[in-house]
Amino acid sequence: MKIAIIGAGSSYTPEIIEGLVKLSDRLPVNELALVDINVERLQIMEGFCKRYLKRLGGHFQVTATTNRRAALEGSSFVLTQIRVGGNAQRVHDEKIPLRYGVIGQETTGPGGMFKALRTIPVMLDIARDVMEYSPQAWVINYTNPTGLIVEALARQSGVHIAGLCAGALFPGWFTRQALDVSSERVSYDYIGLNHMNFAFNLRVDGRLLSSEEFDRVADKANWGSVDPGLMKTLRLIPSPYLQYYFHRSKKVKEAAGKAYTRGEEVQKLEEEIFAAYADQSQSEKPAALAKRGGGGYSEIAMGVMDALYNNVEKRFIVNVPQGGAVPGYAPDAVFEIPCLVSASGIQPLSVPSIPAAVQGIIAAVKNYEQLAVEAALTGNREMALLALMAHPLVGDYDIACPMLEEMLQANRAYLPQFFPVGQ
């Protein structure tokens, strides 16, 4: 088996090496092809991955190239983890909205929208290459915002794609820690969108948690994000990203008061991480990588690949066109929901009704997502404005108009659909 990683200069790539070695008895990889447009980062990552692979006792070949076609030909899986414009553009996504009193964040709100506007055209190019050079391959996407990317590719491409996010694991982690039970004993219903999702009906050994047990899980789930009191009122465990919706004023104030945005912090962290990767004596993941976030990154990817390759039916939470699993929405609307994964593909599972308390916010963000995808595909500024207006974190015309123009100009080099050559 050959696997390609597009965006292999990402600091997360060693997590994939680790996962493949752990599953070497089920995923018989003979080549891992690393692809990136940043030659320096690619070379550093190639060297480190080879050293790390040797340390772990893995035996497949690691290759590196800037030629996407060469990497894609013969690949069974294509892992995509790109960041168009790098962290420099992420900083614009964070800083500009704050000047308008709106949260600046890489996947939520205006920042998330502009990340999608930059990324969707590039992902469509990648999908076209996959269809040409390895049409049977599955794209395992971790590029954010993954829900919008999957929706765009599902509309415009026939590529097989699974949109993944480690956040789907969090409710299980919280339950396991709070109640001191093993992960395989925990289950829950789950509904929503990427970074706009909720776990409910939490169970251990098939038994619904008592009120007291749920409250303990809610207390454990407070990573400085959503207040546990609100979780106890909702009787839901939300994605940590819901902090930006449920504590909007507080989070805007906190972000505005910081000396550095998260993107600037990540830039500094990555200098440290890549200095360690470049050290020829280094064959262990650097400690600084833990500060980067992304826990569980390879766990879901490896599991999905295992199920697809070995035709072992398993349940995963995936961003996928819902196909009727979520009543009231078009079949091609992408939701982050439980699915059965096997060699026959990814089958969405019917979910219980969306809890009444969060029906409105999910509907609003889904509406925003579909407008934003249309804007990304067409370069239509009016559609981009409508998307901002639909987003619950904006919704103000007098803010949306100037903010949109400023963010368009800040991203001009990465938005050919909005700025055609010669105009």
- Residue 51 placed within a domain: yes
Rounded to whole angstroms, the Cα distance separating 316 from 308 reads: 12
- Residue 113 placed within a domain: yes
- Residue 103 placed within a domain: yes
Please, what is the average pLDDT of the chain? 96
At residue 112 the predicted structure's pLDDT band, cuts being 50, 70 and 90, is: very high
Q: What is the pLDDT of residues 368-385, one digit of tens each?
A: 999 999 999 999 999 999
Q: What is the pLDDT of residues 390-407, one digit of tens each?
A: 999 999 999 999 999 999
**Neighbour order of strands in the sheet with 345-348:** 61-65, 31-35, 2-6, 75-80, 138-141, 160-163, 314-321, 334-342, 345-348
pLDDT at 236 over 80: yes
- Residue 207 placed within a domain: no
The pLDDT score that the predictor gives to residue 294 is: 58
Q: What is the pLDDT of residues 53-77, one digit of tens each?
A: 999 999 999 999 999 999 999 999 9
- Residue 31 placed within a domain: yes
The pLDDT score that the predictor gives to residue 288 is: 86
Please count the other Cβ atoms lying within 10 Å of the Cβ belonging to residue 320: 25
Query: Is pTM, for the whole model, over 0.85?
Result: yes
- Residue 29 placed within a domain: yes
Q: How many domains does the chain have?
A: 1
**Is residue 190 flagged as an active site residue?**
no
Boundaries of domain holding 21: 2-163
Query: Shortest CA distance to 30 belongs to which of 77, 87, 81, 68?
Result: 77
pLDDT at 224 over 90: no
The pLDDT score that the predictor gives to residue 287 is: 87
At residue 295 the predicted structure's pLDDT band, cuts being 50, 70 and 90, is: low
- Residue 330 placed within a domain: no
At residue 86 the predicted structure's pLDDT band, cuts being 50, 70 and 90, is: very high
Which contiguous run of DSSP H or E holds residue 118? helix 109-133
pLDDT at 210 over 90: yes
- Residue 46 placed within a domain: yes
CATH of the domain at 89: 3.40.50.720
Query: Shortest CA distance to 67 belongs to which of 33, 30, 43, 44?
Result: 33
* The one catalytic residue among 12, 52, 142, 241: 241
Residue 245 burial (C-beta neighbours within 10 Å; 0-12, 13-18, 19+): buried
